[in-house]
Every structure is written in structure tokens, then in C-alpha cells.
Amino acid sequence: MRRSLERELSRALGIAIVVAGIAAAAVAFAFGFEQAEDLQDEALRQIAALAAASPGSPIAMQADSPGAIAADPDSRIFVFTLSAASRPAWLPADLAPGYHTLPGSTEPMRVYVRNAAGGRIAVAQSTAVRKESALSSAAITLLPLFALLPLLVWLARRITRAELAPLRHLAESLDAQLAERPEPLPSGNVPLEAVFFVEAINRLLIRVNELITAQRRFVADAAHELRSPLTALAVQAGNLAQPHASGDLQQRIDALKAGIERARHLTEQLLDLARLQADGEKQRVDVSSMARELIAEYLPLAEQRNIDIGMEETDVLTMAADPASLRLIVKNALDNAVRYTPAGGQVTLRLAKKGENGVIEVVDTGPGIPASERGRIFAPFYRGADAAGSGSGLGLAIARDAAERCGGSISIEARTDASGTVFRYFQKAT
């Protein structure tokens, strides 16, 4: 189990509270027991004083009777006159004034002796009764302590968790940040001991931001710089093509044009990637309108490749997303479908709702993707072994990053009714 500061602090505080509580209970019990015995001694002294001061009282009169009970029977307190012949054998006649503990006839006795006008008076009580009463009195003092111990342990755990809560909140805010736009962590509510960690993380995030910005700038600048020469090369390759050119020359020109087209397509994808990594806020996007625009954009390419492209709209969709990112997802799906579907095939863009989710599907009649490669197709620059066309293998990786930015998910499955692939994007509709 991973070491937990909160758990260890709670355990240490809990153990300290329990140990301190037990020690306090022991001390309180000892003081309570001693105080109860002192009170019982004081009760013996007061009874003796009452018997000495009031010769006609019942207590004084019973002092002449052997073993007469002069107080509460439950307390088993006996009053004797030491000069009387009826005194018990265990009670010496020459006992000095003050407190004494004597063996008694059957059990030890606590005796207080006091001088009186008619002789010395002895007030005795069984030590067993005294001990039982003192234990009961002392035990009562333990009840509040033992009742408080669980509460104190619970409070220690709650306080520890509350004091460490800012660290958990910092971790949650750090996890919630987008990887491409990390922001410094707030340090206002952070404990003093953790401030230097937070400041070190913030300095690291600043360096990471600088690296990400430099990388975005490089990708965008490189793509812009490549676009113009590639366009010029495409024009020059078109000028080389002549109706009376030999077959071998025409093949070389076609290969050159295909390579230039592939490089141009890769440049456009790099520009899309640079735009995707730029800051973009979520807005309410009319997916239906965006889908029609993309169908119109890819219609010329589909007609050129003799592909039937169309749209099926079961529900009117709107989603809260970055418009550029959502457009990029659908655009890449359509681009792959049109490029890899053979002539005479079909590409259909479907819009529907399933519960609270909006679903965008691009269904084609292409060769499909083997099940063994579906887990790898989202890797950058990955192309299947049997892939045809001029793709670069970057489109689906860009689409996946765009989906994460929008808060949706992408899946690719094989069609069940015919050969081909189903590209599906899920996101909560608005």
C-alpha cells in the first residue's frame, strides 16, 4: 500500500490521543479514588464529632450498645465507646486519637478515634465497603474521558483531512488542465510547508508552456513555408504533362504529382494540427449545418473518384464544442472515407441522437480495417499494411486529439451489413 501522509498523521494523532487519554484516565482514577477515601475519612470524623458534641443524640446513645449501627446501614459505619466493656475485641481500649486501620473480626476496618466528655469514641467502617464506594466514585470520573476518546480520534482525522484538503484540490486542478495549455497552480491557500513545491511546479509549467509554444510555432511556420513551394511544384508538374508524352514519361509525371499531392496533404494536416493546438473556446455548434458544408466541400473529390456521397439526418444536432476541433474531426473522417473507398462506392454522413448523446457517423463501403490494426490506427503516421491512397497516417491521430479537446470519444468499427468501416463520434448534445 502506498504511503499516505493523511493516514499516517491520523494514525499518529489517534494513538497519541488514546495513550494520553488512558494516562489521563489513570491519573484521574487515582486522584478520584484518593479523594473518595479522604471524603470517607472526613465522614468518620464528622460522625465522631457529632457523637462527642451531642451526648443525647441517637448516635451517642448507640455508642454504648455493642456494634450499634449509627449511620446509613449501607455504609456499615459503627460507633463505639472505647471504655465500654461491650467494645469488640479487635478494638484496643488504649487506641490513640486519629485514624487507624485495624484487622477487625472478619475484615479490615478503618477507625477514627476522638476524645469526648464520656470517654473516647471510635467510629469504624469496613475497608471493603470503603474501597467499593471509592471505586464507584472514581469510575464515574472515567466516563467523560472514555466518551471523549472516540470523538477526539474522529476530530483528529477530520482536522487532518481538512488541513490536507488544499493539496488534494491542487492535484485535482492540475489533473483537470489540458496538456497543451498548462497553467500555474494557485498558491494562496497552500500550507506554508508545501508552497515551495507548488512554486517549483509552477516554474516547471512555465518552461513546459514555452516549449509547447515553440513547438506550435515551428509546426505552423514549417507548414506555411512548405505550402508555397509545394503549390509551385504541383503547377510545374502539371505543365510537364503533354498529350504526346511517352508512357514511361507519363508514369513518372504521375508519380511526381502523387508525391507532391501527398506532401501537400500532409502540409495541410500539419496546419490543421497547429490550429487545433491553438486556444479555442467551446461554443454551441450547429452540427447539421457544419455537416452540409463539409459534404459540399468533398462533393467534387467524390464525383472525381466516382463515389456516391450523401447525408442522413435523423435528428438536428447541436453540441457544445470548439467549432474548429469538431469540424476537424468530421473532416478527417470524410477525407479518409473518400480517399480509401474504391470507385463506385458510397460514403454516408449520419447524424442522430442516442439519449443525451449526439452521434456523428461516417459510413463507407471501403476495404475496411482489420481487427488487429484498429487499436493502432490512432497512432501518428501509422498506415495499415494494405492501405492504398495518398494518406499520411496523421488524420485519425489529429481527430482523436480534437475529440479529447471537445469532450467526446471516437470509435471505429467494421460494418455488419456490408464491407466497409463505421467511424463514430459520441458527445453530449445540447
In this prediction the pTM is 0.48
Spacing of C-alpha 134 from chain mean position = 52
CB 403 within 8 A of CB 426: no
CA distance 427 to 403: 9
* Residue 267 located in a structural domain: yes
Higher pLDDT, 81 or 2: 81
- Same domain (yes/no): 309, 268: no
Q: Is 369 within a domain? A: yes
Identify whether residues 430 and 286 lie together within a single domain: yes
Cβ-contact 416, 403 below 8 angstroms: no
Same domain for 32 and 78, yes or no, is: yes
Q: What percent of the chain shows pLDDT beyond 90? A: 11
159 assigned to some structural domain: no
Nearest to 319 by CA among 397, 409, 395, 401: 409
Q: Which of 18-27, 28-37, 53-62, 175-184 has the lowest mean pLDDT?
A: 53-62
User: Would 189 be classed as within a structural domain?
Assistant: yes
Q: What is the DSSP string of 149-177?
A: HHHHHHHHHHHHHHHHHHHHHHHHHHHHS
- Asked, for residue 168, whether it belongs to a domain, the answer is no
Same domain membership, residue 424 and residue 321:
yes
Q: Residue 214: is its pLDDT beyond 50?
A: yes
Cβ contacts of residue 334 below 8 Å, gap of 6+? 294, 295, 298, 309, 347, 349, 362
Q: Are residues 365 and 396 in the same domain?
A: yes
List the single range of 172-186, 302-316, 413-427 with lowest mean pLDDT. Answer: 172-186
Bridge partners, residue 319, by sequence: 285, 429
Residues 272 and 290 occupy one common structural domain: no
Tell me the mean pLDDT in the region 162-172. 79
pLDDT tens track for 327-365: 888 988 998 889 889 999 999 999 999 888 899 999 999
Which structural domain, as residue segments, surrounds residue 373?
A: 281-430
Q: What is the pLDDT of residue 405?
A: 78
What whole-number distance in Å separates Cα of residue 351 and Cα of residue 131? 88
- Who contacts 202 (Cβ-Cβ below 8 Å, separation ≥6)? 184, 185, 187
Phi, psi of 133 (to 5 degrees): -65, -40
User: Of 261, 279, 297, which residue is a domain's last?
Assistant: 279
Q: Give the mean model confidence (pLDDT) for residues 244-253.
A: 66
Mean pLDDT score, 130-139: 82
CA 94/CA 103 separation, integer angstroms: 16
Q: Give 265-319 pLDDT, tens digit per residue.
A: 666 666 666 666 655 677 888 999 999 999 999 999 899 999 999 999 988 889 9
- Look at residues 279, 303, 331 and tell me which one is the last residue of a structural domain: 279
Query: Is the residue at 169 inside a domain?
Result: no
Q: What is the pLDDT of residues 47-95, one digit of tens each?
A: 888 877 765 455 544 444 444 444 455 567 888 888 777 678 888 888 8
Number of structural domains (the chain) is 3
Q: Is residue 170 part of a domain?
A: no
CATH number of the domain within which 268 lies: 1.10.287
Q: Is residue 153 part of a domain?
A: no
According to the model, what pLDDT value does residue 364 have? 93
d(CA 309, CA 287): 18
Beta bridge partners of 346: 308
199 or 310: whose pLDDT is higher?
A: 310
Tell me what the pLDDT averaged over the chain comes to: 78
CATH of the domain at 28: 3.30.450
Based on the fold, state whether residues 296 and 256 are members of the same structural domain: no
C-alpha radius of gyration, the chain, whole number:
48
**Among candidate residues 246, 279, 312, the one where a domain is terminated:** 279
